[in-house]
Homo-oligomer: A and B are copies of this chain.
Amino acid sequence: MRLERRLEFPDYEATRVFLEQAGELSEAMDVYPNLSFGRTYANLTIFADEDSGELTAQAQTFAERIEQLLG
């Protein structure tokens, strides 16, 4: 199981700002999603915990915080 979110941005600057914020959140929460991005998009994938096969509470909180970033 995993959480996937595709995000579109008006320009590279907006993409870059989002990536920086997501990076700070990753370091703060020690949750590192896969982020696949180009000039005006970013696909975010959070993988389930390998043992439990579930999203950890930490990963779910991270996903919620990302949603708040996007406002």
Interface residues of A (CB under 8 A from B): 12, 16, 19, 23, 26-27, 32-39
Q: Which residue of B lies closest to A32 (CB)?
A: B39
Chain B residues in 8 Å Cβ range of A26? 12, 39
Distance between Cα atoms of A38 and B12 in the complex (Å): 20
Nearest Cβ in chain B — how far from A49, in angstroms? 15
* A16-B23 contact in complex given A34-B36, A34-B38, A38-B32, C-beta closer than 8 Å: yes
Distance between Cα atoms of A39 and B31 in the complex (Å): 9
Does the CB pair B23–A33 fall under 8 Å?
no
Distance between Cα atoms of A35 and B26 in the complex (Å): 17
Does the CB pair B27–A12 fall under 8 Å?
yes
